[in-house]
Amino acid sequence: SSGMTNNGLINVALDATFRGNNATFVNAGTFAGNGTFATHVNGDILNQGIVSPGLVAAPIGQLHIEGDLRQATIGSVVFDLATLASFDQLAVSDDVFLTGSVIARNAGYVPVVGERFLVMTFDERPLDTTFDLVTTQGFDAGIRFAAVYDTHSMSLVVVSVPEPETYAMLLVGLGLLGFRFSRRSARVAG
């Protein structure tokens, strides 16, 4: 009957439901799993921590939220991407108010520009809010994703992948700099 703040880990198993209360549920820790988080009528989830579909031991999963999801600027939603057929999904039955960050985390995926992952569905985005920042974890430098919003969904799209030639040029450049530095050091010492 009163509000609750999670400062730890709530990991909801497949086919299980974590039932909220009539007040706002504040997530300041980590909310994860493959089950359902259900708020009662007029209840919201305020995410000031991390929402991460999938279980800790098996990262790819689908998490359901019955109610509204309100993202705080310090909140993050993390999506693990393994393949085009295996990636996290978050399904919100009511409205989303987005801000904060969305994180694309590598779970074995090799990015190709233009590939799209439909990672979040929702009823409405009343104020056309968007995530402030899209970041990556576990991907090589230069790999970038963008969040693309549709009427009732949000997708992560690969927008930048460094070409293999770019890596080769970088390695050659670093090698030349190292050779020049070693020659300069040898002259100063001699």
Arithmetic mean of pLDDT over the chain: 88
- How is 134-186 classified by DSSP, letter by letter? EEEESSPTT-EEEEEEETTEEEEEEEE---HHHHHHHHHHHHHHHHHHHHHHH
SS3 label, residue 188: helix
- CB 27, CB 45: distance < 8 Å: yes
- pLDDT tens track for 60-94: 999 999 989 999 999 999 999 999 999 999 999 99
Tens digit of each residue's pLDDT (9 = 90 or more) over 129-188: 999 999 999 999 999 999 999 999 999 999 999 876 555 555 666 677 666 666 655 555
The count of other CB atoms within 10 Å of the CB of residue 166 is 11
Residue 48: per-residue pLDDT? 96
pLDDT of res. 151: 95
Long-range residue pairs from 9-13, CB within 8 A, at least 24 positions apart, any chain: 9/56, 10/37, 11/55, 11/56, 12/36, 12/37, 12/63, 13/55
111 versus 165: which is more confidently predicted? 111
Confidence at 24, pLDDT banded by 50, 70, 90 = confident
pLDDT at 44: 83
